[in-house]
Chains A and B, each alone.
Chain A
Amino acid sequence: MKNEKLLEVKNLRTSFFTHVGEVKAIGGVSFALDKGEAIGIVGESGSGKSVTSLSIMRLLQYPGKIVEGELIFKGQDLVKKSDKEMQAIRGNEIAMIFQDPMTSLNPVYTVGDQIIEAIRRHQGLNKAEAKKKAIEMLRLVGIPSPEKRVDNYPHEFSGGMRQRAMIAIALSCEPSLLIADEPTTALDVTIQAQILELMKDLKEKINTSIMLITHDLGVVADVCSRIIVMYGGLIMEEGKTEDIFYNPKHPYTMGLLKSIPRLDLGGKKRLVPIEGSPPDLLKPPKGCPFAARCPYAMRVCIEQRPEYTFVDEKHRAACWLLHEDAPQIEVETGVVRRRA
């Protein structure tokens, strides 16, 4: 695959200006996404992963605001676009699917109408053509007898089917970038498996770049080739999926991997939780946001924010332990790779 950049996020800072003060939801985030690539953004609630995607979509609502940074999409800065210009991009070039398929469809319009709306708005097809395309899209996402289902209302669809319909709307204009914010969190495991298979399959078929936002490490392990780990509004570590799982460099990534039980390994081994709770972003810590919970924290971690250290070209982590002057500590790393 050619390494052609589709999206470049440069030093993005987003804050919410509430009556109690400025909540620094994202405190300076930079990353890039190539054409046709699937990237996973992993983090807990409040880590800034959803705010990152809303910033890219320019869907932040009052009191949220992009304070600083550039969002270079196909060579143009989205931050500088007017609302009207964004409307032509949103749903057309960049599409998004949300966590809750129950509330993201309009209950008073048929599913077909909602797909047709997106197609007609951006592609200028007439009603009959758009309906044909809508049926085609429903078939693509695996809705049985789409000719009939196109006239159903959302309440006549099950949760899994609604999420499929959302995907159909999102993909109807063949976007270059699909942002999926926790697309399977509200679904049951067997339905989640269906949706994940569908997303992998569609990625091959229509060559869309995917940004998958989730808290579930199992989901990204399967779908994404690269992973960004966020915490406290910052990127803690970024690397290829294999590097993040088998060779994590940031103590937060290691902690996350250790705190989840492994179904395939069995055994009643005690879980290793990350003690404490996430930082208050009203008063973000001066140093590393993870320092207060980090078992390896040193004085410098509390006082100064670490720079990124590059392990290799694609793998970086923000941790003082990786500094050349840092003490060498035996750390227990991530998942033990079981095949060579």
Chain B
Amino acid sequence: MNVNNHEILLEVKNLKKYFPVRKGFFGGETQYVKAVDDVSFHIRKGETLGLVGESGCGKSTTGRTIIRLYDPTAGEIIFNGAEIGMMKEKEMLPFRKRIQMIFQDPYASLNARMTVGDIIGEPLEIHGLATEKEKMEIVHDLLKKVGLAPDHAVRYPHEFSGGQRQRIGIARALAVRPEFIICDEPISALDVSIQAQVVNMLEDLQSEMGLTYLFIAHDLSMVRHISNRVGVMYLGKLVEVADRNELYEHPAHPYTQALLTAIPIPDPDIAKAKKRIILDGDVPSPLNPPSGCRFRTRCKYAMPKCAEAEPEMKDIGSGHMAACHLL
């Protein structure tokens, strides 16, 4: 799919999301967890941008801030030309049906006391998109679209397996005919053989309905498979963005390089021959991130300069952006 010429659907500029942490019993000093700290990227219409990184890197917070489950601390979120980052709840409502989200845990993201039909139909009610009669028809269509049967509408979530529940979550997201879907680790709770079913379905729905995805995951193999472009996050920062093949074949940032070699490859010959870049230690605390480049404490190329100045995002050729002083 060539999506290079398409217009930009979503642009995120210098997005920040800080969470306050109060120290001491009586308030006292307030520190901030800088979960997302000055992140900028864009997504074109019809494309899939993959967002990868380890836990605590801010990838899910980025997704949740874009859909305004969190209010951004600073920065702009421009969706189809409109700045939605600072919008009031009432102004935001029409945008809510254009941006939907699929969550990681299919056990926690469906209300156990509602039937599947009510779960999928609820967004239609909230946005006043259908009468009661039309609603059931739409629900039945959606169930068929995600590979379930119309008579499943009267059942409750506990009667379904993990993979089927994730399909229900997808049907709910599709109910309001969104343009943009944020998929927050949609397959990581599923078994290997079921993951492929869900990924294939997401791909089919994309080409059928012209959807744009932000695909957040920690499984780098799956991200390479589904994305057009991929962004890598580390400790609240976006460190590299590039076209899928470019990123995986010519990673520029030392963190991306280490991350890619860390993935176990299901091929014994290659697994045995492969040299891993083993990163020492753990991700530092986001309460008190290192000065300069945040990766420098684990980077084998770190220089004095890395502690002093924060590297800027640079274009190193045909849209491949990376933030490292080595480049």
Contacts and interface: CB of A to CB of B under 8 A. Distances in A.
A188 B218 CA distance: 8
Nearest to A271: B196
Interface in A201-223: 215-219, 221-222
Interface in A162-221: 188-194, 196-197, 215-219, 221
Contacts, number: 134
Contacts of B195: 259-260, 273
**Dominant SS among interface residues on chain B:** helix
A29 interface: no
A217 B272 CA distance: 14
A339 B269 contact: yes
Contacts of A191: 54, 282
Contacts of A189: 54, 218, 220, 259, 262-263
A270 B207 CA distance: 14
Interface stretch (A70-78, A145-153, A261-269, A304-312): A261-269
A261 B194 contact: no
Interface residues of B, number: 45
Given A241-B268, A271-B196, A266 B224 contact: yes
Nearest to B162: A45
A277 interface: yes
A64 interface: no
A320 interface: no
Contact of B193 (A158, A160, A274, A335): A274
A219 B264 contact: yes
Nearest to B204: A270
A33 interface: no
Interface of B: 54-55, 161, 163-164, 191-197, 199-200, 203, 218, 220-222, 224-225, 245, 248-249, 258-272, 276, 278-279, 281-283
10 contacts: A45-B191, A158-B282, A197-B276, A197-B278, A242-B268, A245-B268, A263-B224, A271-B196, A335-B266, A339-B269
Given A192-B262, A221-B268, A338-B269, 15 more contacts: A144-B281, A189-B259, A190-B258, A193-B264, A215-B192, A217-B192, A221-B267, A222-B272, A246-B268, A255-B193, A260-B192, A262-B267, A263-B248, A263-B263, A337-B269
